Amino acid sequence: MWKKITALLNPGAGDGEQDKKTQEKLRLATAALLFRAGNIDGNVSEIELKKLTEILKTHFELNDAELADLMAAAAKDEKDAVDLYGFTKIITDQLDQDGRIAVVELIWEVILADDVIDEYEANLVWRVAELIGVSARDRILLKQKVMQARQ
């Protein structure tokens, strides 16, 4: 999925230094939102942490060292953030609608990892989706899709 997301970034752009920095910002913003999803209810369960780690490693195609670096940076950025705007602005600026939908789906995957959705988690998905321009209909369909995949 990360290949799909990154392919949505300036498809005509080369592999220059600026493109690499842009991809890193996007990766960090997405990871920080996933960290927020995992701990917004005040309880990061083992299964949520495992799912978050799996998503970061698999979808972003990271080795163990890169994964550790991204997780540390994302956890710090998420903890230091006063709102979601900094993260969602990067996502909105860099991804088209399909990429934004993919980000909301990843957030649902983390939230639903423990089969419990509390009000804070539901509110987070709603706020992120609104900020990045994913419709309420798509947000609900993505929730249903992730729930069905878990059965």
| Average pLDDT value for residue range 52-70 | 94
pLDDT at 45: 83
- Rounded CA gap, 59 and 102, in Å? 11
Residues 6 or more apart whose Cβ sits within 8 Å of residue 53: 67, 71
Domains of the chain: 16-150 (1.10.3680.10)
Determine which of 7-11, 42-46, 75-79, 124-128 has the lowest per-residue pLDDT on average. Answer: 7-11
Q: For 100-127, what is each residue's pLDDT tens digit?
A: 999 999 999 999 999 989 999 999 999 9
With vertex at residue 57, the alpha carbon angle to CA 69 and CA 42, rounded to the nearest 5 degrees, is 75
pLDDT at 74: 94
